[in-house]
Amino acid sequence: MLRTEKYTIIKDCYNAGPESMAAALAVLSKKQGRRVAVLGDMLELGACARAEHYKVGRIAAEKADILLAYGPNSEGMLAGARTGGMSAKFSRAFTEKEKMIQVLKTLAKPGDAILFKGSRGMQMEQVLEAIENEFVREEARRILSTFGLSTESTEGMAKETLAAISGEIVDTVLYGAVQEVISALLCLLTYALLRIVFRPVIFAVCMTFEL
């Protein structure tokens, strides 16, 4: 569980089955503030999949105030939640994570407790990471505003600094590479000159002394 200034986050994205879903929702139900269940499919349930997802939806209607369900079986979960009395406004099913993230950003409010859970294959941590990144950006804006700055101005300064540093690095690398090439060419030229100049001398000496 993670507490931030804005949300209480319960991260349980490693695995999910009917029993662990019920247990996680029970934990969520004890949290203060609005309780938001962000749930992914439970995989490998075979023929029981729809029925089990429906049951989880019914439990979510009792334990949570908002249900956002993701995956091929999300409609079954949604049906259970609405049968259990959860309104259509606060219960949604998604087949795309991007849309789920957008809706969650719209619905989530300061003080909410949010549960992220699903089978490992559903990768629900990606939804959590998007919310965490948004929270970090908001905190950055708040901190910068106390100094009279904005994220746009600091990003511009960062890009200019990075460009300058990158330019210096490129110039340094190119200069070093050119130096190495010139040194290599000088070595080859020196070797060639030595062979041209001294080879006849060495040959004459050898002939004179019959070496």
Supply 21's token pair.
């879903």
Quote the DSSP letter at residue 85.
Answer: T
- Pick the more confident residue, 102 or 135: 102
Q: Output the pLDDT for position 7.
A: 82
pLDDT at 70 over 80: yes
Composition of the chain by helix, strand, coil, percent to 5: 65, 15, 25
CA 3, CA 194: separation in Å to the nearest integer? 76
Distance CA 132, CA 72 (A): 25
**Residue % of the chain over a pLDDT of 70:** 62
Q: Is 19 exposed, middle or buried (0-12, 13-18, 19+ CB in 10 A)?
A: exposed
Distances (CA, A) of 148 to 142, 144, 145: 10, 6, 5
Q: Greater confidence, 159 or 61?
A: 61
Token code pair at residue 93: 């099913």
Q: If you count DSSP H runs as helices and E runs as strands, how many of each does the chain have, helices first?
A: 6, 6
At CA 96, angle to CA 92 and CA 101, rounded to 5? 65
Distance between CA atoms of 94 and 25, rounded to whole angstroms?
Answer: 19
- Residue 147 sits at φ, ψ, to 5 deg, of -105, 10
Average pLDDT of every residue of the chain: 80
Q: What is the pTM of this model?
A: 0.67
pLDDT digits 0-9 by tens, 39-68: 999 999 999 999 999 999 999 999 999 999
Percent of the chain with pLDDT over 90: 51
Report whether pLDDT(178) > 80: no
